[in-house]
Amino acid sequence: MTDSIDPARAAYAFANRFVNVLVTLPNGTAVRTAGRCGGMSYSVLDHVTSGRDVPTWPAGLFAPGRVPPDGHLVADHLRARQLDSFRSVSALRFVTWSALPDRDLGPLAGVRPRPRRARPGRLLTRAPGRPRVLGMVVARHPLRSGDNHQVVATGFSRGATGPVLTLIDPNSPGREVSLVETPEGWRASNGRLWRGFFRHAYAPRTPPALPSASRRPTVRVRSGAPLALAHVATGRLLVVAEGGPALRATGTTTWTPTGGPALLTDGATVRLVTDDRALTVVGTRPVLGPAHEAVAGGPADQAAADGAAADGTADGWRVVVDGGGPWRQGSRVRLLHTATGVLLAGTADALTTSWTPDTCTWWTIATPPPDHPPAHRGTHRRAR
């Protein structure tokens, strides 16, 4: 078998559990569809053909949701590519094939034998080494065509009982899935039984520069070690922009935690300073700038913040690790301002603070910015 694509590097780290709100009716009812398998499959191929790793965002960072929420850079990218996956003539087969019988019915070809007659290997051998998007059919009525699926076919071989396709399936992150024909249909190693499949049209696009969580999640955070912070709810990076800290889709600022023990843990008090501009990320007023000077707690809290800034203690942040214990690069953390009790937070594009420990107050370590050597270089492929 030829080289295949390593799903640990090429695929997304979370399963396809998206819920899409297509429209909200006048009575407030939301019309929803499940999944962004087409967007995930298209995005995987975008990154493979561009020679880039898919950004890693483990499902645990988004607990309890398990997927990046709408407004997150990755979620919005996958939504856009999902819509692209429907803008092709081949997408009509999701509807038309759902109306076909399993087996041949007179001159009408059934869904199950169609892939065999098309010779599954040709899906890949027409362009050796290039993966393909496949449309997987399970529905038995056009009105259920939303139950169908999209995957990436990455390899082909001949097994003892027939052809074997290897897949990257958005429903099974981080592992390779095999597909074989059985008397009941096309059986996948992740337990799914498909009626049939077809080659789905795909036009490559250069993927946007999407921030990524750390690719070394078990490494502990050390005092004084450069790091980059990503906002979990939006995927944006904490960077220096226009003379002050801000949230941006891209950026090159790294931050150095100082103070506390060499290996930082839950409850450690740190200061966040840039390693090249001597800018300290301090309490509510210095973080947000003149346009956001008021402390949300009222005059007493504002006075406390002013006093803390004057005596030099306002630059302290207590690290609150989700679940406690060591602060690792893959941890979710909150940063609690020691002088005022506010949490460092963010919105779609703005840095802010919050008194409520909600989803907008989670942070994690990001992969080094573009001008720093990435944690891993090399091809997505692995030897077989």
Over residues 356-377, the pLDDT tens digits come to 999 999 999 998 544 443 333 3
Alpha-helical runs (H) found in the chain:
7-10, 37-50, 73-85, 93-96, 113-117, 122-125, 284-288, 299-311
The residue count of the chain comes to 384
Nearest to 82 by CA among 125, 119, 34: 34
Residue 240 falls inside a structural domain: yes
| CATH number of residue 282's parent domain | 2.80.10.50
Task: Determine the average pLDDT of the residues in 24-38.
Answer: 73
Report d(CA 315, CA 287) in Å as an integer: 10
Calculate mean pLDDT across residues 243-257: 80
pLDDT surpassing 90 at residue 311: no
Q: Is 359 found in the same domain as 307?
A: yes
Q: Residue 324 — left, alpha, or beta (φ > 0 → left; ψ -120 to 50 → alpha)?
A: left
Average pLDDT over residues 241-267: 81
pLDDT band at 315 (very low <50, low <70, confident <90, very high): low
What percentage of residues in the chain have a pLDDT greater than 90? 48
pLDDT band at 285 (very low <50, low <70, confident <90, very high): very low
> Average per-residue pLDDT in the chain?
80
Contacts for 122 with CB less than 8 Å, ≥ 6 apart: none
Within-domain flag for 98: yes
Residue 242 has pLDDT above 80, yes or no: no
Rounded to whole angstroms, what are the CA distances from 254 to 205, 213, 220, 243, 369? 29, 14, 17, 15, 8
Do 61 and 187 reside in the same domain of the chain?
yes
Q: Is residue 149 part of a domain?
A: yes
The answer to whether the CB of 74 falls within 8 A of the CB of 57 is: yes
Decide if pLDDT at 237 tops 70.
Answer: yes
Q: What is the pLDDT of residues 330-351, one digit of tens each?
A: 999 999 988 889 999 999 878 9
CB neighbourhood size of 60 (10 A): 15
DSSP helix/strand/coil, 302: helix
pLDDT at 106 over 80: yes
How many CB atoms sit inside 10 A of residue 371's CB? 8
Looking at the fold, whether 141 and 238 belong to one and the same domain comes out as no
Average pLDDT on 310-321 reads 67
CA distance 147 to 80: 20
In a domain, 179, yes or no: yes
What pLDDT digit, counting tens, does each position of 107-163 carry?
888 898 888 887 666 665 544 457 899 999 999 998 888 899 999 999 888 877 788
d(CA 197, CA 284): 55
**Close Cβ partners of 150 (under 8 Å, ≥ 6 residues apart):** 37, 38, 40, 41, 85, 133, 134, 135, 136, 170, 200
In a 3-state reduction of DSSP, which class is residue 290? helix
10 and 144 share one domain: yes
> SS3 sequence, 331-362?
CCEEEEECCCCCEEEECCCCEEEECCCCHHHC
User: Given this model, what pLDDT does residue 217 score?
Assistant: 96
Q: Are residues 161 and 234 in the same domain?
A: no
Do residue 192 and residue 236 come from a single domain? no
Q: With bands split at pLDDT 50, 70 and 90, how would you rate the model's confidence at 29? A: low
Q: Which amino acid is at 153?
A: A
Q: Which of 14-28, 80-94, 311-325 has the highest mean pLDDT?
A: 80-94
What confidence tier does 24 reach under pLDDT thresholds 50, 70, 90?
Answer: low
The answer to whether residue 148 sits within a structural domain is yes
Question: Quick one: 132 and 59 in the same domain?
Answer: yes
Segment 163-218, tens digit of pLDDT: 899 999 999 998 999 999 998 999 999 999 999 999 999 999 999 989 999 999 99
**Whether residues 160 and 244 fall in one domain:** no
The answer to whether 23 touches 31, Cβ cutoff 8 Å, is yes
| CA–CA distance, 272 with 49 (Å, rounded to integer) | 37
Same domain, 170 and 258: no
For the CA atoms of 219, 222, 228, 232, the dihedral, rounded to the nearest 10 degrees, stands at: 60
Residue 212 lies in a domain: no
Pair (50, 190) in one structural domain: yes
d(CA 54, CA 45): 9
Please answer whether residues 192 and 173 qualify as being in contact, where contact means their C-beta atoms are separated by less than 8 angstroms.
Answer: no
Whole-number pLDDT of residue 305: 43
Higher pLDDT, residue 289 or 117: 117
For 23, counting Cβ atoms within 10 Å of its Cβ (0-12 exposed, 13-18 middle, 19+ buried), the class is exposed
Q: Say if 73 falls within a structural domain.
A: yes
Domain contains 206: no
**Which is nearest to 264 in space by CA: 320, 345, 314, 338?**
320
Phi, psi of 274 (to 5 degrees): -75, 155
- 221 has pLDDT over 60: yes
Domain range holding 106? 4-21+32-200
248 and 359 share one domain:
yes
Stretch 28-42: mean pLDDT: 81
Domain count for the chain, please give it: 2
Nearest to 13 by CA among 321, 330, 227, 237: 330
pLDDT band at 71 (very low <50, low <70, confident <90, very high): very high
For position 316, what pLDDT does the model report? 80
Kind of pairing, strands 185-188 and 177-182?
antiparallel
Clarify whether residues 234 and 196 are in a common domain: no
- pLDDT bin (cut points 50, 70, 90) of residue 289 is very low
